Amino acid sequence: MKKYLLIVALAMTGCATSTEDESIWSFKFQPEQNFDWMPNELTWQNNVRNCRSQPQCNAANLFSKF
C-alpha cells in the first residue's frame, strides 16, 4: 500500500510540475516585443498638419516616421 501511495504521489507531482515548468520556460525565452509605432512629437504634428491641408487624408500617413 505504501508503494502504491508513493507512486501515485510522484505521478501527480510530476504531472503538476511539468506543465508549470513548460509555461515558466516558454515565458523566459519569449523575445521581448517593443512596439514603437508612434513617430516623435514634432513629426506627428507635421503629419497631422499635412494631412489636414490635403483634400483627402490617408490615416496611414499620420504614422509615417519619415
What does the pLDDT read at residue 29? 64
User: Hey, what's the torsion of the CAs at 35, 40, 46, 49, to 10 degrees?
Assistant: 60
CB-facing half-sphere around the CA of 29: CA atoms within 13 A:
6
Which pLDDT score is estimated for 26? 60
pTM above 0.85, yes or no: no
The confidence score (pLDDT) of residue 58 equals: 87
pLDDT beneath 50: ranges in the chain:
16-18
